[in-house]
Amino acid sequence: MILSDRKILAEIAKGNIVIRPFDPSCLGSNSYDVHLGPYLAVYRDGALDARRPNEVEEFRIPERGFVLVPGQLYLGVTREYTETHTFVPFLEGKSSVGRLGIDIHSTAGKGDVGFCNYWTLEMSVKLPVRIYAGMPIGQLIYFEVSGEVGHAYDTKKGAKYRTVSAHPTPSRMHLNFRGRKAPRPGRKR
């Protein structure tokens, strides 16, 4: 079941959901609007490697905005820090953002019980579009969990995105390969 506005407020009062900063005007009937933070990042190399850390170049979005272009992956971040202790948060793009041809996540729209951080956005566009820090970018929807959670994200050993950061976090996929030797480029396995 999806939490209603009143249920979201009740769970915030209990401390089961945390949204900072919280603005009551951003609460919809069954969601909460989040905003684009001030930073974007792009990968420095054209070809990424899942077994290695990939360097990013981060920059602050200028006051005049920044034009996203097709064919480029941008890592953004929400202005809001969130915690979810008993529900599963889903981050979806707002319809107005989608109608501008902006996708805010490639595959990572679902959080975990125990996720306590800012949300990194994997942004891409269909057409060039100017964006601005602070603009509404997505909405959080909270789902009830059926059954007891054995390992919340904030206590899970090996959780790769627990370090709190108000900056876009690049892929940490390479940590899945710890202890395995990475193949040299050009060699088949």
Q: Of 179, 32, 49, 41, which is closest to residue 91 (Cα–Cα)?
A: 32
Neighbours of 110 (CB within 10 A): 14
Q: Which of 57, 58, 92, 122 is catalytic?
A: 122
Give the CA count within 13 Å in the CB-facing half-sphere of 141. Answer: 13
Is residue 122 part of the annotated active site? The answer reads: yes
Structural contact between residues 76 and 133, judged by C-beta atoms closer than 8 angstroms: no
Q: Which two tokens stand for residue 141?
A: 């929807």
Which positions are annotated as active-site residues?
Answer: 122
